[in-house]
Amino acid sequence: MTKQRRSLHLLLMATISTMAALGISNAHAQNTYVDIHDFNTSTLVSPEYAGLLAQGRDGNLYGTAPSGGTLSLGGVFKITPTGTYSVIYNFDGTAHGKTPRSGLTLGTDGNFYGTTWQGGTSNYGTVFQITAAGTLTVLHNFSYTDGGNPFSPPIQGTDGSYYGATEAGGTGSGTVYKITPSGTFTSLHSFSFAECATPVAPLIQGIDGNFYGTCETGGAAGGDGSVIKITAAGVVTVMYSFDFTHGSHPNGPLVQGIDGNFYGTTSGGGSLDGGVVFKLTPAKVLSVLYNFNAKPGSVDGNLVDAGVIQATDGNFYGVTDGGGTNGSGIVYKITSAGVYSVLYNLVKTTGSVPETTLRQHTNGKLYGEANSGGANSLGALFSFAVGLKPFVIEMPTSGKVAKSVGILGSGFTGTTSVNFNGTNATFTVMSDSYIAATVPSGAGTGFVSVVTPAGALKSNLKFRVTPTVLSFTPPSGTVGTPVTITGNSLTQASKVTFGGGKVAVFTVNSDTKITATVPAGATTGKIQVTTPGGTAISSTAFTVN
């Protein structure tokens, strides 16, 4: 080695050592980690899973921490994307609950919904609603028979109600519940151990309308946990029972990818016993995308309590509690094909042991929570930039023509247009970070675009325009009879079926009209029209003569 090359080599090694000490991987030095807040005893401490962050209509992030605060019983906080932090509610125990592990869900009404793990009238926790200003209302006190000790927040379904799971209660293995924004509570199902036990992650609603979730324990394979599907009526199907080889004890939530498959993590198991990242198809086929190594010193991370999110670049991002070059956890990226890379090694002084699932803000950055570390060793909130651009989020992400839809983002003042898959919508700019829009007639399933003075912003998910069937004529006929079907949002129709599920040959005449031919084998029954936005079913039956 020449003297010049040796000098360059020594300089490079010194740079790598310095970056490692700061927790920065030299291969990913372009990724920017910022500790935006250090928790302390008086203003809440140590966020835990589920701990979901919610973006409010004001563009700020809202969440919970299970301890600290004025009574040391936990509370609700608000933080701006740049780190201005405040506690908006301190829990008091019996009256309103305590130990909120859940994090929050933003509702379409602009309020936030969450749970407390303990407290309330029976000390089995509560479901609560809280405004951005900090006004809290208890919607339900769990009594154990209807559920107990909820870890996660309820999520809002397409019907407007909220659905959630409890860690305990019911027959002992946890429950699924439904609650309206006004507090009308329904216990939907008590789990058997063979189905699910200890569901600590929030549910998600799939594009098929069913709810999906993970269970830390239980399942048919011996208690390593499971993935379940739940209908809105509470009918449970086990999608997969973990067997340690393919992972065990999932604590994080699922995410349904743009490919329709479900992605998640387990905290243990796998070929190296450090947890896994997995993909599960709707047909119940599970494949392990990555195995974490449980051995001390694992540079790729281990002990995975958080789930993954799919960001606007199509990749999945997650964090681990441990491992990495500093033993404080990592931020990682993984593709749907399992290509894995470490993006950042956490440093104890700026936050360590991140247990909660990341959140992508509409500014493009990822935000997360560390359970410990930081300036006070009590946890931290951080942002992590990977170069992704600003975007917008629709709330809800599906609906019929004329439905009101909220749009979250930034820089909305002076917006000139909002369109749904290219069809212009009427809208009102409510603030610089929130727009109210109406699904326009003729719109099809596709992305929402908002044109602001700074440029166009695109939604992260396609808005699914739900079709409707209003009528059909004639009301009866033989096989081969042409039937005119009228409704809304029919342009993207991919299938028309008659009674008995028989598929018909059809022509889309317009967004409001389809002509279909009664197929051979059809029986008397309702007509169904399927589009990318869902399936519309006629209110009356077509009679096959």
Summarised one tens digit per residue, pLDDT across range 515-545 is 999 999 999 999 999 999 999 999 999 999 9
Statement: residue 7 has pLDDT above 70: no
- Which pLDDT value is given to residue 199? 97
Q: Which pLDDT band, with edges at 50, 70 and 90, does 28 fall under? A: very low
Considering the domain architecture, whether residues 460 and 471 belong to the same structural domain is answered as no
For residues 276 and 376, state if they share a domain: yes
Domain membership of residue 85 (yes or no) is no
Is 401 inside a domain boundary? yes
pLDDT band at 139 (very low <50, low <70, confident <90, very high): very high
Q: Where are the beta strands (DSSP E) in 482-544?
A: 482-488, 495-498, 502-503, 505-510, 513-517, 525-531, 534-544
Find all residues with CB under 8 Å of 368, minimum gap 6, and list them.
Answer: 53, 319, 331, 354, 356, 358, 359, 381, 382, 384
Residues 397, 492, single domain; the answer is no
Q: Alpha-carbon distance 316 to 333, whole Å?
A: 6
Please report the pLDDT score of residue 1 as a whole number: 40
φ/ψ of 361, rounded to 5, equals: -80, 160
Q: Write the pLDDT tens digit of every residue in 236-246.
A: 999 999 999 99
Query: How far is residue 477's CA from residue 311's CA, in Å, rounded to a whole number?
Result: 50
- Is pLDDT above 50 for 13? no
Give the residue among 46, 105, 61, 121 at the shortest CA–CA distance from 360. 61
**Statement to judge: residues 403 and 450 lie in one domain:** yes
Give residue 97's Cα distance to chain centre: 25
**363 and 275 housed in the same domain:** yes
Give residue-wise pLDDT tens across range 115-134: 999 999 999 999 999 999 99
The confidence score (pLDDT) of residue 210 equals: 97
Reported pTM: 0.92
CATH number for the domain harbouring residue 420: 2.60.40.10
Domain assignment present for residue 409? The answer is yes
Q: How confident is the model at residue 11 (pLDDT cuts 50, 70, 90)?
A: very low
Mean pLDDT, range 43-71, rounded to an integer: 97
pLDDT on residue 23:
38
168 falls within a domain? no
Q: What is the pLDDT of residue 22?
A: 38
- Model pLDDT for residues 159-182, shown as the tens digit of each residue: 999 999 999 999 999 999 999 999
**Same domain for 535 and 430:** no
Q: Are residues 453 and 485 in the same domain?
A: no
**508: in domain:** yes
Position 296 scores a pLDDT of 85
Estimate to the nearest angstrom the gap between the alpha carbon of 7 and the chain centroid.
Answer: 50
In a domain, 90, yes or no: no
Instruction: Give residue for tokens 């993935």.
Output: 227
Q: pLDDT at position 25, please?
A: 38
Q: What is the pLDDT of residue 536?
A: 96
> Is 254:286 a contact under the CB 8 Å cutoff?
no
| Distances 276 to 250, 252, 291, 441 between C-alpha atoms, Å | 9, 11, 5, 45
**Total number of residues shown for the chain:** 545
What is d(CA 503, CA 348) in angstroms, rounded to the nearest whole number?
60
Q: Name the domain boundary from 418, 443, 464.
A: 464
Q: Which residues contact 487 (CB under 8 A, 6 or more apart)?
A: 467, 468, 469, 470, 471, 512, 514, 529, 536
Q: Residue 307 domain-assigned?
A: yes
DSSP code string of 66-106:
SB-STTSS-EEEEE-TT--EEEEEE--BTTTBB---SB-EE
Residue 222: the pLDDT is 83
Q: What is the pLDDT of residues 390-426, one digit of tens each?
A: 999 999 999 999 999 999 999 999 999 999 999 999 9
| Same domain as 359, residue 315 | yes
Between the alpha carbon of residue 443 and those of residues 281, 434, 446, 464, 471, the distances in Å are 29, 21, 8, 10, 20
Is the pLDDT reported for residue 29 higher than 60? no
Q: Which 3 state secondary structure label does DSSP give 251?
A: coil
Identify the pLDDT of residue 221.
Answer: 75
User: What are the distances in angstroms from CA 205 to CA 122, 154, 252, 262?
Assistant: 30, 11, 15, 11
Q: Mention every residue, 6+ apart, whose C-beta is less than 8 A from residue 232.
A: 157, 159, 163, 178, 209, 210, 211
Q: At residue 386, does pLDDT exceed 60?
A: yes
- What's the confidence (pLDDT) of residue 90? 98
Q: Could you give the strand order of the β-sheet that contains 273-280, starting from the edge strand earlier in sequence?
A: 255-256, 262-266, 273-280, 286-293
Tens of pLDDT, residue by residue over 256-300, are 999 999 999 999 999 999 999 999 999 999 999 999 999 988 999
270/371 same-domain check: yes
510: containing domain = 467-544
400 plus 370 within the same structural domain: no
Q: How many domains does the chain fold into?
A: 3
Are both 401 and 417 inside the same structural domain? yes
The CATH number of whichever domain residue 314 belongs to comes to 2.120.10.30
Average pLDDT over residues 10-19: 36
- The answer to the question of residue 517 being in a domain is yes
At 356 the pLDDT is 98
> What would the pLDDT profile of 328-360 be if each residue is shown by its tens digit?
999 999 999 999 999 999 999 999 999 999 999
- Boundary of a domain, candidates 406, 439, 464: 464
Mean of the per-residue pLDDT values of the chain: 94
What pLDDT digit, counting tens, does each position of 461-477 carry? 999 999 999 999 999 99
% of the chain exceeding 70 in pLDDT: 95
Indicate the residue among 464, 488, 514 that finishes a domain. Answer: 464
Co-location of 449 and 471 in the same domain? no
- pLDDT value of residue 297: 84
pLDDT tens track for 196-229:
999 999 999 999 999 999 999 999 878 999 999 9
